[in-house]
Amino acid sequence: MIMAGGSGTRLWPLSRVSRPKQLIQIGGKKTLIEEAFERARLLTSPDRIYIGTNKDLAAKIQKVIKLDKKQYLIEPEARNTAPIIAYFAAYLKQNGSEDNAGVVILAADHHIEEQDKWVETIKLALSRAGERIWCIGIKPTRAETGYGYLESGIEIVPRMSTISSFREKPDYQTAAHYVTTERHFWNSGMFVFSIGRLREDLRVYQSNMLKLSDACAQNSAGLAKNFPKMENISIDYALMEKTKKVGLIQADFSWDDVGSFDALGRIYPRDEAGNHVVSGSTISHRSKGNIVKTQMKVALLGLENCVIVEDNGVLLVAKREALPEIKELRAKVPKELL
């Protein structure tokens, strides 16, 4: 299942209510949801790929991802990641899947290079899907305070271990320390498990969620009635930090969570002048570290570490260090520009 329910507020004005971040192009000609779907196809056939989202986004995504409507799992209400994952497992079981069937949870906003290494990592997790809920961990390359971290525990086999601790969004000093260790990894938000493994952990730690998810899987009326009753909680807090049956697989591919404009600076290399030009063209003098995505020619003079993004009548100019405040800026934007 590809989780595609987010709105991407930190990518405004590229991401709008009418065109959420899953439907914007970042690394190439395909949208993020199309990239995620193509990755999933490397693992299985289209009829075994599902998309978890809301009603409004489903109508938009269906225009680019042509799947049977039954393969769109529609959330009646936003409830974070645990409820939709629990519902997905219940839906599969209700529709004849065995407890030992492997499940892969992906996100619609990831940019991944080295597809063959990604496939190998996921297949490694699937080979032991009944043993644990496997988290794909990424070796940190910078002190990132916006990600969750996993600390590896006892090695099971090379690249696979238990998890000794979770740490959600640490401060900069702690994140900088994690970069220097060999045991801390970014929590990518990709998970692999068997249906039976997840449901057993739900039974022990989230019994009410398991009951409600089974009721959701009965029919559309059951979904509408019971899904909003489930706790609004992430799968990390609901299960990962509680169960003893969780594990880490160390990824060996490059990965980025396309959650903010800084990601464009990592995906697109610097040009000769030292700027990251996603689209458009630049004339630059004493300017470097800028991220530019426009449809026009931009002249940069004495400007460093800024974002210049133009989209549909809106021009955003921001210091990269101020990007965490983009939600506050967006709150001041007229409704017709959201």
Flag whether pLDDT at 227 surpasses 70: yes
Flag whether pLDDT at 1 surpasses 70: yes
Q: Under 8 Å CB-to-CB from 240, ≥6 apart: which residues? A: 133, 135, 163, 166, 246
Q: Which of 227, 257, 287 is the last residue of a domain?
A: 257
**Residue 7 sits in the same domain as residue 39:** yes
**Residue 142 sits in the same domain as residue 68:** yes
Nearest by Cα to 137 from 247, 41, 244, 39: 247
CA pair distance 253, 332, nearest whole angstrom = 39
**Residue 182 sits in the same domain as residue 100:** yes
State residue 20's pLDDT score.
Answer: 84
CA pair distance 337, 14, nearest whole angstrom = 11
146-180 tens-digit pLDDT: 899 999 999 999 999 999 999 988 999 999 999 99
Number of domains in the chain: 2
Q: Which of 206, 225, 257 is the last residue of a domain?
A: 257
Mean pLDDT of the chain: 94
CA pair distance 208, 236, nearest whole angstrom = 17
Strand 51-54 to 2-3 pairing: parallel
What's the mean pLDDT in 212-224?
A: 97
CA pair distance 44, 102, nearest whole angstrom = 11
State residue 6's pLDDT score.
Answer: 74
Nearest by Cα to 1 from 90, 113, 96: 90
**Residue 8's pLDDT band (cuts 50, 70, 90):** confident
266-306 tens-digit pLDDT: 989 999 999 999 988 999 999 999 999 998 999 999 999 99
Domain limits for position 207: 2-257
State residue 338's pLDDT score.
Answer: 87
Strand 291-301 to 2-3 pairing: unpaired
**Residue 39 sits in the same domain as residue 161:** yes
**Residue 267 sits in the same domain as residue 195:** no
Q: Which of 232, 257, 282 is the last residue of a domain?
A: 257
State residue 10's pLDDT score.
Answer: 87
**Residue 118 sits in the same domain as residue 21:** yes
**Residue 188 sits in the same domain as residue 275:** no
324-336 tens-digit pLDDT: 899 899 999 998 8
Q: What percentage of the chain has pLDDT greater than the value 70?
A: 99
**Residue 199 sits in the same domain as residue 308:** no
What's the mean pLDDT in 178-203?
A: 96
37-59 tens-digit pLDDT: 999 999 999 999 999 999 888 98
Q: Where are the alpha helices (DSSP H) in 114-259?
A: 115-126, 172-180, 195-205, 207-216, 220-226, 235
State residue 27's pLDDT score.
Answer: 61
Q: What's the whole-model pTM score?
A: 0.92
State residue 222's pLDDT score.
Answer: 96
pLDDT: which is higher, 14 or 197: 197
> What does 320-332 look like in DSSP terms, one character per residue?
GGGGGGHHHHHTT
CA pair distance 16, 9, nearest whole angstrom = 8
C-alpha distance from residue 118 to each of 251, 266, 334 (Å): 7, 19, 41
**Residue 16's pLDDT band (cuts 50, 70, 90):** confident
What single-letter amino acid sits at 325? Answer: E
Q: Under 8 Å CB-to-CB from 333, ≥6 apart: which residues? A: 12
**Residue 28's pLDDT band (cuts 50, 70, 90):** low
Q: Give the phi and the psi of residue 13 in degrees, each rounded to 5.
A: -95, 5
Is the bond into 13 cis (omega within 30 degrees of 0)? yes
- Planar angle of CA 150, 152, 157, nearest 5 degrees: 135
CA pair distance 174, 195, nearest whole angstrom = 35
**Residue 236 sits in the same domain as residue 271:** no
**Residue 10 sits in the same domain as residue 45:** yes
**Residue 276 sits in the same domain as residue 228:** no
